[in-house]
A = this chain, B = another copy of it.
Amino acid sequence: MTSCWGQHIHLSLFGESHGPMIGAVIDGLPSGFSIDETQIAAEMTRRSASGKDLATPRKEADRVTIVSGFFNGKTTGTPLTGIIENSNTHSSDYEKTKNKMRPGHADYTAFLRYGGFQDYRGGGHFSGRLTAPMVFAGAVAKQILAQKVPALSVGSRIVQIGQVRDHSVLTPSDYAALTYADRTFPVVKRELQDAMIREITEARAQRDSVGGIVEGYITGVPGGLGSPIFDNVESRLASFLFAIPAVKGVSFGIGFDISGMRGSEANDAFRVKDGCVVTSTNHNGGINGGITNGMPIVFKVAFKPTPSIAQPQPTIDIAQHKNTEIEIHGRHDPCIVIRALPVVESAAALCLLDLMMEADGRHE
């Protein structure tokens, strides 16, 4: 039914890939927090087409204009709205193939869901372009968090591209100290970066695409955030992450590998150290019983390969209800993982801000 998220902050997204604009309304923000528009622009740039032939040649300014909830450089606490104009649309690309359901895309399910009345151009409201207002909202959340909890930091790293996997396991203290050789392609095992990039360029050369895994993390997290059962931190963060197009899996801490561990290994023992309660391992990703324990929140997000590929693929024609073939042209990323990093971080930042609004005050 709705394109809304959040319990205490409330994010509402709107727009289609080929409409005049897309945007986000963020309600429930605390008032009095400074927002620097250049920091928003920097996050938008991370998400937009970037770097080394790895991503789509579609270039959009993706300039956000804040049209409400922002006064004298600070949040007012009333709905903060940002709009982004769609300046670079080639709608005719899509008109010819509108009845051919692109495999792996939402064309067919959107047709079922909306009875054929959906805006099919470029995926319409299902487009990856809707991650732009997510990143805008995340950039706002990051700045508010930085002012509320200066020690807190939100980051992400690439764990896997195609068949190349970085198996590094990090301790809680490692996360705060993470640095990368290349911030636009953040890999902990630096020697894997070239192999990862090769996965992408080879896939592109073969008119194919690859997926990957991103690990998001938040350090400096206050303990005691979240609630039991349905309002646990994992459910709330996962509900945002699965809203990012192409995400098919979400796990916390050591992830699915925890299922192969013994309890004696998986349990992160609590210790008092320098007067603080810590754990030396973080297999549970900073969350016990759905509530933060003060260790870094760590989670992995599985992205599938971009479904738009230039190879011919078998599919159906929905108007004629018969089999056919499709070749998808136009501008598509051979791997969306790099561009997904700020989106994953935005989910984390918005989720944490939502959690903090539960117990905290309403203004700076």
Contacts and interface: CB of A to CB of B under 8 A. Distances in A.
A99 to B, nearest CB: 12
Interface string A30-48: 0110000000000000000
A331 interface: no
A112 interface: yes
A243 B260 contact: no
Given A21-B67, A103-B270, A271-B323, A284 B115 contact: no
27 contacts: A1-B8, A3-B78, A3-B79, A12-B27, A14-B80, A15-B81, A23-B67, A69-B125, A75-B117, A78-B119, A83-B83, A104-B284, A109-B288, A112-B223, A114-B363, A126-B289, A160-B259, A210-B262, A213-B256, A232-B243, A234-B242, A242-B290, A248-B254, A248-B285, A249-B300, A259-B302, A266-B304
A321 B300 CA distance: 32
Interface stretch (A148-156, A166-174, A182-190, A310-318): A310-318
Contacts of A315: 269-270
Nearest to A334: B263
B277 A316 contact: yes
Contact of A249 (B14, B23, B81, B256): B256
A83 B19 CA distance: 14
Nearest to A312: B264
A77 B262 contact: no
A74 interface: yes
A65 B67 CA distance: 15
A247 B258 CA distance: 10
Nearest to A251: B249
Contacts of A357: 1
B10 A2 contact: yes
Nearest to A245: B289
A284 B112 CA distance: 17
A32 to B, nearest CB: 4
